[in-house]
Structure 1
Amino acid sequence: MNKTFKIYAIIFIIIMVILALLEVNKKEVTDWRKNFDLNEKSPFGLFVFNKESKDLFGGNLKKIDQTPYEYYNQNKKTSHNILVVEKEIDKESWRSILGQVSTGSDAMLIVSKIPKEISDSIGYYDSQISFNDQNVLKLTDKNYLNDFINLDKFPSGRGFSYIKPGVEILGKTVEKDNIDQANFIKVKFGKGNIYVHCEPLFLTNYYLLKPGNVRYAQDVFSYLNDKETVWFVEAADAKATSRFFMRFILSKPALKYAWWVFLAGLILFIFFNAKRKQRIVPIIEPLKNTSVDFVKSIGNLYLQEGDFHDMMAKKAQYFLNKVRMDLLIDTQNLDDEFAKKLQLKTGKTIEIINEAIVLIRKAQDPYASVMKEDLTRMNKILDEIIR
């Protein structure tokens, strides 16, 4: 394990330890989003209301996960109650609801934004918004004056600024520095009634769990007659079940944390591993040996000059130097003793040795007449003796 890898490993371990400490010591963050989800336990979910709804409606409650349009096309209903809580419903479904109300059913809409199909049916009104941090929801009925809810967390401040004659005001939003504004109304429509409450926060977990607040919810629903209530819990905007293959892992905090740590580790591994890879080694051409070319050039020069005697002298000098260095034979006297020693150490015949000595002596004689054939013969014999 090299030094660089050890450094990367230490950095990785330190990062993992820091992430683990941050995860252990982090404070759980409260989700204050107004999701109005039936199964959500966050402050503004409807988990508590969903669990207590049967008691609120005397056990005569039916939850429908179809759109009103689909449901009423498949089911012929007699007079009943219709409940919609903060859901966007398609235009055809609203028309189906109004059709049921006109025949004697009652509809209670607890929505912050009133759909145009309903507002056009009950008469023109403006929905104004107050930006106060706190307000109080009260009912106008004298029997319910002591049942109210104090909205101290993110109230929408919605209310009706214009009420058409004939519309009955059942509840108001009371603020310290503003005039009271209607938030709960009743409108006669055909043989039935439409109830509209524009502040659905009173049904959320945060407010229903506060002591006494449940009475306000009971009072609101007491306006509905004692008959079957159909609650459309899902509509056109129903949350489809996620098909993402990681949905289970990401839904569990521990598994989600482990997944992100795994991804972080994988990225670091790829990064460090890539850094450890040896770069491409450039091909460096070795230096060219020009000795042979030099020798050829010198040889060609001698051949052009025709100085065969000098070439033989240098060849003889090179041969004798090699005999001294490699064979350790004294070359001062080229006599019979020299010839015998050279013959013993090289294994060549005495005739070849004697011929080589004759040619060497001729090369050393500055006055000897040398022919090209002599140079060729000498070069062949000397190379044959010492290879």
Structure 2
Amino acid sequence: MNKTFKIYAVIFMVVMIILALLEVNKKESTDWRKNFDVNEKSPFGLFVFNNEVQSLLDHHIKKIENTPYDYYNQHQKGGHNILVIESDIDKESWKKILKEVTKGSDMMLIMSQIPKEISDSIGYYDSQLSFEEENVLKLTDRKFQNDFIKLDKFPSGRGFTFIKPNVQVLGKTVEKNNTDQVNFIKIQFGKGIIYVHSEPLFLTNYYLLKRGNTKYTQDIFSYLQNRETLWFVENNTQESTFFMRFILSKPALKYAWWIFLGGLILFIFFNAKRKQRVVPILDPLKNTSVDFVKSIGNLYLQEGDFHDMMNKKAQYFLNKVRLDLLIDTQNLNEDFAKKLHLKTGKTIEMINEAVVLIKKAQDPYASVMKEDLARLNSLLDEIIK
């Protein structure tokens, strides 16, 4: 087991231990986002309302996932009810809705921020009127005076100001430190009626599941006529086309995926440095000088030219004497032999014998035998050793 593998193993174990501790100590968190999604079971989703709306409106409700513009271009409708709850509707669709209302349909608009296309058309203005953490929603009609709902979680605090005379107030928000503010109004528009409520939280799971709160919701929708109601909802039910949708939708698979990505990043990080290629073992270069000399020697032996070899050996010796011992080699006489004797420490007899063989090698007419070459080579090597 190499060192790198041990490092990876330790890192992996530490990550797994940390994840296990986080999983054991994990507390379920509540999603308090105001999503108003009909499929969400979070506190501010519309899952409960979506399941109960059929009985609430006597089974006359019909959910429409197309835009109002597309729907009304394809369908001709008589008088009916229109329901819009915190939906993002385009400008052309609002025009289609208002056209239907003008012809005799009624619209129930429940939104915290009313689109300008609507407020300008029917004559009112909505704004943030309060920042209180709690308030109470009440209706102004005496027959509903005992029905109310208390908002204790993130009320929007929005209401209506600059209301025109033809706008009828149906409900208000009551707070301890503020005057009552209008949150539910009725406007006659052409042959139809528009109802606008500025606080959609009363329709969410959190408030509908509280005892007594459903009565307020029933009172609100009692203003609509008993006829078909088209509820325009945003199409949030389409399946995501993202290829990781299934993995990311499952907590266990999602954690495994992030661990895999983390491990991959660590692997890339530790192996980012370029690794050196394996250096091949090369045999050291052979000294072929000896082989070359042997080859040359064998050539001379085969040719039988002992005289030439002997002459070259003599020239090499004399050149070395000149360079290393600084002795003049022009005259190979008794004086030369004496100097060579003194500088090399060899016997005078050996040196004289070598001088005789050198002169024989230099004589082009001398007869040289193999034994002469061997003897000269032995003597010269001994002298300059």
TM-score tier after normalising by the smaller chain length:
0.7 to 0.9
Task: Give the secondary structure class of the aligned counterpart of 2:183.
Answer: strand
> Which residue of 2 is the match for residue 96 of structure 1?
96
> Judging changes above 3 Å, is the alpha-carbon distance between structure 1 residues 381 and 97 closer, same or farther for their aligned structure 2 residues?
farther
Partners of 1:81 and 1:209 in 2: CA distance: 26
TM-score normalised by the chain length of structure 2: 0.75
What is the count of residue pairs matched by the alignment? Answer: 326
2:252 to 246, 251, 254: 254
Partners of 1:150 and 1:375 in 2: CA distance: 134
Partners of 1:379 and 1:119 in 2: CA distance: 127
Is contact 2:112–2:198 with CA below 8 Å preserved after alignment? yes
Alignment of 1:165-184 (within 5 A): 165-184=165-184
Deviations 1:181-210 (A, max 9, x none): 101000001111000001111111111111
One-letter amino acid of the counterpart of residue 279, structure 1: Q
Is contact 1:129–1:156 with CA below 8 Å preserved after alignment? no
> Which residue of 2 is the match for residue 279 of structure 1?
276
> Which residue of 1 is the match for residue 186 of structure 2?
186
> Which residue of 2 is the match for residue 82 of structure 1?
82
> Judging changes above 3 Å, is the alpha-carbon distance between structure 1 residues 287 and 60 closer, same or farther for their aligned structure 2 residues?
same
Partners of 2:199 and 2:283 in 1: CA distance: 87
Compute the displacement of 1:113 (Å): 1.4
1:46 equivalent to 2:34? Answer: no
Alignment of 1:162-241 (within 5 A): 162-234=162-234, 241=239
One-letter amino acid of the counterpart of residue 131, structure 1: F
> Which residue of 1 is the match for residue 121 of structure 2?
121
Deviations 1:9-64 (A, max 9, x none): 12221211211221232112211111110001111110010011111111111111
Partners of 1:66 and 1:240 in 2: CA distance: 12
Compute the displacement of 1:265 (Å): 2.6
Is contact 2:114–2:126 with CA below 8 Å preserved after alignment? no
One-letter amino acid of the counterpart of residue 113, structure 1: Q
1:368 equivalent to 2:365? Answer: no
> Judging changes above 3 Å, is the alpha-carbon distance between structure 1 residues 126 and 311 closer, same or farther for their aligned structure 2 residues?
closer
Task: Give the secondary structure class of the aligned counterpart of 2:107.
Answer: strand
Is contact 1:101–1:193 with CA below 8 Å preserved after alignment? yes
> Judging changes above 3 Å, is the alpha-carbon distance between structure 1 residues 307 and 189 closer, same or farther for their aligned structure 2 residues?
closer
Partners of 2:174 and 2:242 in 1: CA distance: 45
Between 366-375 and 6-15, report the one with greater CA deviation: 366-375
Partners of 2:3 and 2:256 in 1: CA distance: 29
Between 9-18 and 155-164, report the one with greater CA deviation: 9-18
1:266 to 264, 289, 299: 264
CA root-mean-square deviation: 3.6
Partners of 2:369 and 2:101 in 1: CA distance: 131
One-letter amino acid of the counterpart of residue 117, structure 1: E
One-letter amino acid of the counterpart of residue 276, structure 2: R
Alignment of 1:230-379 (within 5 A): 230-234=230-234, 241-272=239-270, 278-280=275-277, 306=315, 308=317, 365-370=353-358, 371-372=361-362, 378=373
> Judging changes above 3 Å, is the alpha-carbon distance between structure 1 residues 283 and 106 closer, same or farther for their aligned structure 2 residues?
same
One-letter amino acid of the counterpart of residue 203, structure 1: L
One-letter amino acid of the counterpart of residue 245, structure 1: F
Compute the displacement of 1:172 (Å): 0.6
Is contact 2:155–2:201 with CA below 8 Å preserved after alignment? yes
Compute the displacement of 1:77 (Å): 1.1
Q: Could you list the runs of 5+ residues in structure 1 that have no partner in the other structure?
A: 297-301, 313-360
One-letter amino acid of the counterpart of residue 243, structure 1: T
Identity %: 62
Task: Give the secondary structure class of the aligned counterpart of 2:6.
Answer: helix
Compute the displacement of 1:272 (Å): 4.4
Task: Give the secondary structure class of the aligned counterpart of 1:150.
Answer: strand
Partners of 2:352 and 2:176 in 1: CA distance: 132
> Which residue of 1 is the match for residue 32 of structure 2?
32
Q: Could you list the runs of 5+ residues in structure 2 that have no partner in the other structure?
A: 294-310, 322-348, 379-385
Is contact 1:139–1:172 with CA below 8 Å preserved after alignment? yes
Is contact 2:124–2:161 with CA below 8 Å preserved after alignment? no
Partners of 2:357 and 2:192 in 1: CA distance: 145
Task: Give the secondary structure class of the aligned counterpart of 2:36.
Answer: coil
1:141 equivalent to 2:145? Answer: no
Partners of 2:88 and 2:232 in 1: CA distance: 11
Deviations 1:306-326 (A, max 9, x none): 4646979xxxxxxxxxxxxxx
Partners of 2:68 and 2:129 in 1: CA distance: 29
> Judging changes above 3 Å, is the alpha-carbon distance between structure 1 residues 91 and 7 closer, same or farther for their aligned structure 2 residues?
closer
